Chain A
Amino acid sequence: MIETADQIFVLLKHWLVGFLPAGWQPVAGVALSVVAIIAFFPALFALTVWIERKGLGRMQNRIGPNRVGPLGILQPVADAIKSLTKEDIVPLSADAAVHFLAPLLLVAAVFMGFAVLPMGRNMTLVNMDAGLLFYFAMGASTELAVFMAGWSSRNKYSLLGAMRAVAQMISYEVPLLMSSVAVVMMTGSLSLTKIVAAQNHYTWGLPHWYIFTPWGFAGFVMYAIATTAETNRSPFDLPEGESELVAGYHTEYSGFKFALFFLGEYLAMFSISGLGATLFLGGWSAPFSFLGWVPSWIWFFSKLMLSIFVFIWMRGTLPRLRQDQLMNFAWKFVLPLTLLNLLVAALWRFLGEGWERWVVCLAILLLAYAFMGREGMRRGHLGPRRYRYAE
């Protein structure tokens, strides 16, 4: 019973595919999974939008949307209908082809990311040997889409927004990769299923998630920071920067293309937090051994929703960083720490079992954090603002 619940979707797929002739079955299987992903995640997007708006409202001591449907549950539906029906205005001087292609490329690239995420026990769309690498390759192409959007709309603000977004994404892509490399180093494989399998065993009921190791925890923190920056969320949402840049690179977009951008952004959030869950929180493995009976995919999605909640939470509380602070923070704090984390992971691996490795790793990390944080950041005191105009 537990087994079927766990493998419900897999069985369902096999059952459906069974109707087709043998030759077609593998392709049909894959197609079916793709359709499932494409259907489920936009729905989750709608739900998250509602959660976010209600959550933010509650955080800011206001109710949030409650007009459409009970508790405003149908608010996302209303938004969807609104974006579909709105007129799609394309600026005259805009570069039509690139303008049209940008959102498509963005969404496509993000969807590609979901192919390798292990959502449940043997519920990975493509069990690739270099899964993680594939995921980051797809992640890398989103920057290009952002740039195309910003540049094609021929609008100074959008170009500026695009430039800021690309710069930020590139700056934080390196720490993102570096922190995940630590995990790869420990499991010895790039395939995500192997990584989850490596975390999926328990001692005294406690799971072997990487987050419970010093380097894992530091890695997870760095990873979380990098992800918020990658998805231009909350403290790092400078590109949108409503106050100065109107809507950033998707100012000139309206109607469905704007919705696509919005969808793309949330999908990126889902996939990046899904990856985070697989890498550090043990993917679909249960938090406690005795909870093993609960279907694996439930754990995956609950961890996913947990990080989404954290995103929303951060958005509601943290102030926006300035551009140079943001860059400084990336190159002078996050990156060095992740590199150090790699060193610590190596130490962890070769010090062997026993309490010494805990002490050593913790000591190094805390010391580095304190020293780096205190010294590194001080230099960036708020000197007089120096304006430099483009030549």
Chain B
Amino acid sequence: MSFVFYAIAGLTLAGALAAVLLKNTVHCALALTVAFAGLALLFLELDAQFAGFAQILVYIGAVAVLVVFAILLTRGSETPKDGVYSRNWLAGLVIAAGVFAVLGWAVLGSARSLPHETAAPTVTVLQIGNALMSRYVLPLEIVALLLTAALIGAVIVAMHEKEGQK
């Protein structure tokens, strides 16, 4: 387990924690971007170049900006009056801890049987292109359709109603 992995993992987890714990919503959004960047680096660490760059392009490029826009549009940037966490936050925390315990236990339990070091697969964009066009052409079309629908849906949902129609 190389030092780089620990650094990047630390960065991502720190970003994630900040995103969850910070008071100011915009700071949370920025922390989220850090977490996304960390993840992209993890992807690159796992030799998934295309996924990494896609992650950066999609998440940092689009989703982060979207989140920030949403925060500004819903006046989230002012710190909320009655506390940041919901009333019974402890229950949430406990449940999250429980989930992590189970997942952790599952991972550690099966750690021995997981495959060890394997050769880094060299994946060229050409291969990905071919795979997309041959084996995954149906998912590709469906995702295309989904994205268009989401595009139109999001626009309609967030569209400003016409005057007079409150």
Interface residues of A (CB under 8 A from B): 95, 98, 128-130, 133-134, 136-138, 140-141, 143-144, 147-148, 151, 163, 166, 170, 173, 188-191
Contacts and interface: CB of A to CB of B under 8 A. Distances in A.
A177 to B, nearest CB: 9
B61 A173 contact: yes
Given A140-B56, A144-B60, A173-B61, A190 B125 contact: yes
Contact of A129 (B26, B49, B65): B49
By DSSP majority rule, is chain B's interface helix, strand, loop, or mixed?
helix
B14 interface: no
B57 interface: yes
A134 B41 CA distance: 12
B100 to A, nearest CB: 29
Contacts of A128: 49
Given A144-B33, A166-B65, A133 B124 contact: no
B124 A129 contact: yes
B125 A130 contact: yes
A137 B61 contact: yes
Given A98-B30, A140-B56, A188-B126, A130 B50 contact: yes
Contacts of B50: 130, 133
B56 A141 contact: yes
B68 A141 contact: no
Query: Can you list the 8 inter-chain pairs with the closest CB atoms, starting with the nearest?
Result: A140-B61, A137-B56, A133-B53, A137-B53, A137-B57, A190-B125, A130-B125, A129-B124
A76 to B, nearest CB: 32
A343 B53 CA distance: 26
A184 B106 CA distance: 44
Interface of B: 24, 26-27, 30, 33, 40, 49-50, 53-54, 56-57, 60-62, 64-65, 68-69, 72, 77, 124-126
A183 B95 CA distance: 51
A141 B60 contact: yes
Contacts of B33: 144
A151 B158 CA distance: 22
12 contacts: A98-B30, A130-B50, A130-B53, A137-B40, A137-B60, A140-B57, A141-B56, A144-B60, A166-B65, A170-B65, A173-B61, A190-B125
Contacts of B126: 188-189
Contact of B26 (A151, A163, A173): A151
B159 to A, nearest CB: 13
Contacts of B30: 98, 144, 148
Contacts of A130: 49-50, 53, 125
Contacts of A136: 53, 57
A190 B57 CA distance: 15
Contacts of A147: 65, 68
A366 to B, nearest CB: 29
A336 to B, nearest CB: 15
A331 to B, nearest CB: 11
Contacts of A98: 26-27, 30
Contacts of B60: 137, 140-141, 144
Nearest to A130: B125
> B54, B61, B62 — which one has the most chain A CB atoms within 10 A of its CB?
B61
